Amino acid sequence: MSRKDNSARTYGQTPYSPQLETLMLAEFANEPLTDFTVPADRQAMGAALERARGEFGRAWPLAIGGERVTTGAWIESFDPCQPDRVVGRVAAADRGHAEHALNAAWQAFADWSRWTPAARAGVLLRAAALLRRQKHDFSATLVYEAAKTWVEADADTAEAIDFLEFYAREALRLAETQPLTPVAGEHNELVYLPLGVGVVIPPWNFPLAIALGMTAAVLVGGNCVVLKPASLTPVIAARFVDLLEAAGLPPGVLTFLPGSGAEIGDFLVEHPRTRFIAFTGSRAVGTRLYERAARVQPGQRWLKRVVAELGGKDAIVVDETADLDAAAEGIVASAYGFQGQKCSAASRAIVLGAVYADVVQRVAERTEALRLGPAEDPATQVAAVIDGGQYRTVLDYLDVGRREGRLVLGGEPAREPDGSAGWYIQPTIIADVPEDARIAHEEIFGPVLSVLRATDFAHALRVANNTEYGLTGGVYARDRRRLEQARAEFAVGNLYFNRKITGALVGAQPFGGFNLSGTDSKAGGRDYLQLFLQAKVTVERF
């Protein structure tokens, strides 16, 4: 199915105006993906890539209090598939800019927090309509800045649209009269109020969907945001800040504040006027942030709320009753989509002994057939990892993996036939990995799959749970008893049976994990907005 501009469905038959107290909306539905076999869509994406190339090197200033600010210092964003190519650059903020940003955001909060939920939701709905019309342009930026293939970039953009649409509807739902137990002679009321001004720190791997989703959830509740985008992917963040402003977001409600973690990250997290922090990223950074946010600073009047979505060491279990072709396809799709740079990626396959060799062979055949190349090529299935630092980290883990297991496939850097130097690494399979191996426990965040042998299904579940994380997991089996055992015992926030373990859908599959995978939030779920709200109860006796 080809994705069309269906923005009219966003508002049903009711045009939006700021005076409306309610919006008549169709039931939420996920944005369909683009079918690039359709010539018109393929041509449209090609044209968007050409437009994106025409803007290479563009400079983006800070946005503070409705003003554009240049600083004299810049963060450059490079194409991972061609690292000498500058996609764009953004102004780099210092602590003075961060202090100014918090002050300006609190000033804007006084007005924004008084907007009706319908008016705030209307901004998100208009942003969704604008993004839907510009979807290929945003996807093209993702192709060049994040090395996302056409399919991966399109899915990122579709998810961003979903977050806007879903959270707008959630804001309206939470604004309705909340059910309370009646008490004779009293009127009781519960309302949800915004927290204030917070900091949103998104990751580089979903620099549109997650970054925009986190920001939209915070904003629609009446809060103001200081957005510190990932330094590796700041251009796409600059674009969606412009998008939200074009949709009617008032000046100062959203601050665009790129900068290094050392210069402004810790400063914002520890600042006494920061009310909350929404973070998605690595375990190491997230736990450090969590610790720093817990300290009450002089003049601070609240305990800061931290919503942290961290990493995973995700596993797919395959037993002898499974459809082995489906299992192999699901493992490959989960392990190597976006070069394995997803917190939900399958970095472990745990296979029962009776089918172990067969599954390894089937996975290897499919992995070897993957097309490696630049993300801008529509035929590419695996592109470059994000930058030189990640490239070296993955190669270091490959050295460890050769010592800990048996290299089946890959394990080397890769170069394009034309000799271009990008951060390419061959999709890699390491089999016969021991349960206590480093590559079976540490998050690699690259195109590397470890395969472990299980003696029986109970053993497979113990191996799957033998990690400090608990994000995603999967089981391929036809035995209903085993699926129900996994349902009860597999300790992950998102568990998938007989399908790949990446690609959670907003609304249908709220996403977030257990243990050190985060603070148990569920992005794209019905309780996510409440993380950025506080409930007030008023009781009147009559």
Give catalytic residue positions. 309, 343
Amino acid identity of residue 472, one-letter, is: T
CA atoms of 355 and 360, how far apart (whole Å): 9
Three-class secondary structure of residue 148 per DSSP: coil
Whether the Cβ atoms of residue 335 and residue 369 lie closer than 8 Å to each other? no
Backbone φ, ψ for residue 219 (5° rounding): -65, -45
Calculate the CA dihedral of residues 40, 45, 49, 51 and round it to 10 degrees.
60
Q: Are strands 197-201 and 276-280 parallel, antiparallel or unpaired?
A: parallel
Which amino acid, 61? P
Three-class secondary structure assignment of 446-512? CCEEEEEEECCHHHHHHHHHCCCEECEEEEECCCHHHHHHHHHHCCCCEEEECCCCCCCCCCCCCEC
Angle at 541 between CA 536 and CA 542, to 5 degrees: 140
Q: DSSP assignment, residue 281?
A: S
DSSP string, 321-390: TS-HHHHHHHHHHHHHGGGG-STT-EEEEEEEGGGHHHHHHHHHHHHHTPPB--TTSTT-SB---SSHHH
517 vs 16: CA distance, rounded Å = 39
The CA distances from residue 517 to 123, 148, 162, 394, 461, in Å, are 31, 24, 23, 20, 18
Encoding tokens for residue 455?
């003696």
Among residues 241, 77, 221, which one has the least CA distance to residue 143? 77
| Identity of the residue numbered 275 | R
Residue 395 tokens read as 């190669």
C-alpha distance from residue 322 to each of 300, 335, 395, 475 (Å): 56, 18, 33, 9
CA 277 to chain centre: 16
Q: Are 473 and 315 in contact (CB under 8 A)?
A: yes
Helix (H) or strand (E) holding 438: none
Answer for the pair 415, 424: CB distance below 8 angstroms, yes or no.
Answer: yes
Say if residues 352 and 454 touch (Cβ distance below 8 Å): yes
Answer positive or negative: Cα dihedral of 176, 182, 188, 194.
negative
Residue carrying the six token digits 């609240």: 302
Residue with tokens 């946005």: 63
